[in-house]
Each structure stands twice: as structure tokens, then as C-alpha cells.
Amino acid sequence: MAIRIFITGGTFDKEYNELNGELFFKDTHLPEMLKLGRSRVPVDIRTLMMIDSLQMTDTDRELIARHCNETEAEKIVITHGTDTMVDSAKKLAELVKGKTIVLTGAMIPYKFGSSDGLFNLGSALAFVQTLPVGVYVAMNGRWFNWDNVWKNKKTGEFEEAR
Amino acid sequence: MAIRIFITGGTFDKEYNELNGELFFKDTHLPEMLKLGRSRVPVDIRTLMMIDSLQMTDTDRELIARHCNETEAEKIVITHGTDTMVDSAKKLAELVKGKTIVLTGAMIPYKFGSSDGLFNLGSALAFVQTLPVGVYVAMNGRWFNWDNVWKNKKTGEFEEAR
Amino acid sequence: MAIRIFITGGTFDKEYNELNGELFFKDTHLPEMLKLGRSRVPVDIRTLMMIDSLQMTDTDRELIARHCNETEAEKIVITHGTDTMVDSAKKLAELVKGKTIVLTGAMIPYKFGSSDGLFNLGSALAFVQTLPVGVYVAMNGRWFNWDNVWKNKKTGEFEEAR
Amino acid sequence: MAIRIFITGGTFDKEYNELNGELFFKDTHLPEMLKLGRSRVPVDIRTLMMIDSLQMTDTDRELIARHCNETEAEKIVITHGTDTMVDSAKKLAELVKGKTIVLTGAMIPYKFGSSDGLFNLGSALAFVQTLPVGVYVAMNGRWFNWDNVWKNKKTGEFEEAR
């Protein structure tokens, strides 16, 4: 069965508005990225929202959880801003059972050339195919259980909680 | 324990010689790619050879196998040209036991901008962390057992053997 | 005699801070860009300031003018933010005589991959070598006299004043 | 009046065939490059041939000259492989009078990301707008008269003849 990919926004999908110098969201770049990676993994992509994760509310998180529960897919990748990725992972662990859910994101927008997004997407798709049921964060080439991860704001890297 | 990465060359690491218009090998781009992916996976990188996989001989494959056996690492990623990646996987399955070995490569050189290499590297590193002992090919976002994969030369994609 | 290149900042040289998602200035990318373009034009590069041109004051413009007057070079390229490039051109026309001065910039930061900066730099260097004494804006592949140009904020393009 | 751009091929427009690892020609990238440069210079683009300049014959050069003579445009840019660019410039100087013709090319294919092509195109378009009637080579940010230039095969750079 195809892997479900839910798009929620985050740095991953931000673009540069050359008229005012600000970052904004237009469309997701996931299909373009999967094509670049020559991915042949069967996926269904659906955009749930396009927001900065600092703007994400509990209502948004419940919406994501509902979509995870309603899809027939048992393996789900969620693209998400890194700032509150851990909060969403916790919420999903609480509300969704019996599925393998992997959240991933990027520190640099895909469109900026020097992005970590393609690397992260490759690893997230691999982790979701191989990890058992549970909710995980996939960043920096590693995977973390939802209850054992935090983002180090000084380095921008994800680490085990202590 | 750190993951061992063995470099053998392949399209992954090819560069364009602007003086004669030919492709050639200089140094591996793996460290640069891992930095771009902000990877925090502990790895030891070692270049065994820098060759086109069409030039790879059985002696070369035995050398790779010996290095796989001699390293203390139990998880090994091998970058490899795609044309004979499946042949090397078979040879390694025969000669190396008790380790998780993932071969990966690229259809487009990393330096050409439009490469699938970063995506493949992300997935290979994820697969080697999660798959059980065995020899695998990681391409197109998927993983294949060494005895159930071939490269479709018409599409450039890896598929299950039939 | 070498062409003088004065750096003043602008979108050209902006970078993305992955820790807070904001754009900022570090070092100029001019030497890297000239290397990419395999430029063999003799140039002396000097950074005067690294600011967004919306922040540029008349004092800043006088400083730029003084440097233009003090250098022995008769041909000068100035990289500049696009928002007030025309204002600076006017000021320089008033304060500097007997030199060929070409202002250029970019709508997208060089580091973002999809930048117009390399194209603009190529054209600015060409215009400064061939245009007579005067102050010019080089954008969109075209050159404009300082007193016959404005930036259309809706399109982000430079046009003849009417 | 619009500037005429004649495409003849060369490294500029080469692409990488990921199935056999060879370089080949498909379509010209000129329109894409002009868009990236946000060029607003009026141009008419016409592809005359798509060949490696080492394959270019005198018949090909006469064809290019005929097109230069037949177009109403007085300013012409020709994209061309670098290996025999100087030979074509000589031939055009002999066969075409009363026009400003600028030949340019690239050492690295545009599609490879690290190309000098965008820089060269920016400078060629600027030179053709400002130089008097004559035949010129525009490379390395510089312009050369057709009878005072050669390509240094060791450095890949264009220099004054001596």
C-alpha cells in the first residue's frame, strides 16, 4: 500500500519573494523533490496546511491526527517546520495508534539550493518503510522516538532528550 | 558504533573536466554531502577505489569484501556505480556474513546540481540503521535484497527481479 | 588599469540564517562569483558597507562618492540593493565627475541558486568596459542613464523614466 | 530593434544522459537563462544547429554567416562551442559586414549548476549593445576583436593573440 505524505509547510517549502524580500509559501515542492530523487516508492501526497510551525495550534495538530487516523495507509510521512516538530510528534503519539509516522523537515528551504531537505526526505521515506509502529522524528540522518527528542535551538540539530 | 562508509567511485563522485569535456574522478564528495544534509550520524569514511563500476573486476569486489570483513563496524554503506551494483551486492553476500551492508549510488553526478545522490545517501544511511543483517541495494527511495534486484537499463531504475 | 568594484550589500550578498529564518549579511560573494564566471577582467574589490539599500542614508552615499573620487580607477562597478539604487546613482552623478560608474544588484540572493546576480555581474562588468564617462544602472540585461531610470516595484524590473 | 541570438550548440547547451553517462544536445537553455537573468532586452532566438564546435565545418560557418547577413538585426549574439569559436569569428569577419556580432560560449554546461554560462551571456548581451560594428569574442568577462584572440587550451581561457 502507498505511503501517505502529509504536507504541513515549514522551512522545507518556503520560497523567497523577490519583490519584498520575505519568505512565503506557495506550493509544496515534494513532487519535484521525489522526481529529483528518482523515487519509485508509491506515495500519496496531500497538503493539509502550509504554515510556519511556530504558528501551528493544537487545533491544527488535531486536524493532522484526524487525517492520520482516517487514511487507510499504515505508513505516514509528515513534512513539518522544525521549531515545533517535537510538539506535534507528542500530540500524534497521543492521538494516533497502530501506525508508523515519521515527521521530517528542513533547516534551509529546498529552493535555496543548499537545502538539507532532499537528504531528510530520503531518510524519512526509508525510516517509514523499516521502523515498527510508532511516532518518530527523522532529522540529521537519524531517527528519534517522539518521547526522546528535542531541537537544540543553538545548533539547529535534533538530539536525544536527557 | 560508527557506520563505515566505503567509497568505490561511480557516477556519484564524477566531475566534469572543462578542458576536455570528459567526466573524471577527483575526490569523493561524501563529506560535503553529509555536511549539506546536516548529518549527525557517526560515520567513518574510507575511499577504497575511485572507478566506474563498468571497470570493476572480481579482484576489486574481493577487496571490498575483505574491507567489510576486517572493519569492526557492523553497519556498512558502500557508494558504487549503478551499472554493476547488483553484481557487487551478490559477491558481498557470498563473502561477508553477519553485517548490514547497503550499496547505493546515483544516476547523476552530485556536482551537476540535479543529482539524485543526496536523496539516495539519506535513504541508504537510514536503511543501514534499521535493516537486519544482510546485503541490500538502496536506490529510488527503496531497498532491495541482493538476490531480488536488477537495474532496468532502459529506465535507469532498480526493480525486483522476476 | 584594474576596474574598481565597491560592495555595498543589497540582496546580492544576503544569506539565509537557518537558526532564525532571517536574511543577513556575512561576506560578499563577489570573488566566488567572478571565479564561477572564470572572469579574467582585472579588478580590485573593496567592501564599503554591507547593508540593505532601504537602510542607506545620504551619509552612506557621500561615503561611496568619496571612494569613487579617491580611487585612481576610472571604471567602477558598485553592487547595491535595488530598492534605492536609483537614488544612489543620482547622488553619484552629482558628486563624481569624469568616471564610468555602473551600479548593479540582484533580485534574488546569489546563494539561493536561482539568482539573477551572475547574469547582472557579467553585464555590469561588460558595460563598465564599454560605456563612456557617466553614471549608469545595469539591470535586466540593460543599461540606463542615472537620470532616466526607475525601479517598477510591481514587477521588480528597471525601466526608462517617463 | 531586437537583438538576434543564433544558437549553434557548444558546451553551453550540453546535457548529461543519465542512462549512458554521455553528454548530448536536446534543446537550447537560452530562454531559461534569460528568464533567470530577468533579462528585458528584446531578443529573437533562433537555433541554427546544435553541435560540438569541433564538428563544425566551413559549410556550417557559411550557413551562420548567411543568417547573419539575411537578418534585419544589426546586433547579433552567437552561442558557440569554445574550441573553434575563434575560427568562426574569423569566417564571419570575412563574410559579414556592417553588423555588431558577439560570439560567446561556456566551459561548463549550464545544466551543471557551476556553469560560467550565465555570466558570459550577461556580458555578451551587454557587449553587443555597446560595441561598434565588428566581430568579437566575449569570454572571461572580456571582449576581443576577432583578429586578436585565441583560446589557451591549457587554461581554458581566451587571451589576446601575440
pLDDT of residue C148: 97
Asked if A23 contacts A33 with a C-beta cutoff of 8 angstroms, the reply is no
- CB-side neighbour CA atoms (13 Å) of D148: 8
Distance, in Å, from the CA atom of B56 to the CA atom of B58, rounded to the nearest integer, reads: 7
Q: What percent of chain D has pLDDT over 90?
A: 96
CA of D36 vs chain B CAs: smallest distance (Å): 16
Give yes or no for C108 touching A (CB within 8 A).
yes
Residues of D whose CB is below 8 A from C123: 122-123, 125-126
The x, y and z cell numbers of residue A24, run together, are 512565503
Tell me if D122 and C141 make a contact (CB, 8 A cut-off).
Answer: yes
Those residues with Cβ within 8 angstroms of residue C150's Cβ, 6 or more apart along the chain or in another chain? C86, C158, C159, C161
Give yes or no for C117 touching A (CB within 8 A).
no
The enclosing H or E element of B14 equals strand B14-17
The enclosing H or E element of B90 equals helix B85-95
Q: How confident is the model at residue B161 (pLDDT cuts 50, 70, 90)?
A: confident
Q: What is the pTM of this model?
A: 0.95
Strand partners, B23: B16
Give yes or no for A114 touching B (CB within 8 A).
yes
Distance, in Å, from the CA atom of D123 to the CA atom of B105, rounded to the nearest integer, reads: 38
Tell me how long chain D is.
Answer: 162
Residues of C whose CB is below 8 A from A9: none
Distance, in Å, from the CA atom of C133 to the CA atom of C120, rounded to the nearest integer, reads: 20
**pLDDT digit string (tens) for C14-25?**
999 999 999 999
Tell me if A16 and C108 make a contact (CB, 8 A cut-off).
Answer: yes
Distance, in Å, from the CA atom of D143 to the CA atom of A154, rounded to the nearest integer, reads: 49
Chain D CA closest to residue B107? D18
Place of cell 526607475: C150
pLDDT of residue C97: 97
CA of D85 vs chain C CAs: smallest distance (Å): 17
Over 90: is that where the pLDDT of B139 sits? yes
- CB-side neighbour CA atoms (13 Å) of C80: 29
Give the E-state strand segments of A28-108 in sequence order.
43-51, 75-79, 100-104
- What integer best gives the mean pLDDT of chain A? 96
- Interface pTM (ipTM) of the complex? 0.97
**Residue D57 amino acid letter:** T
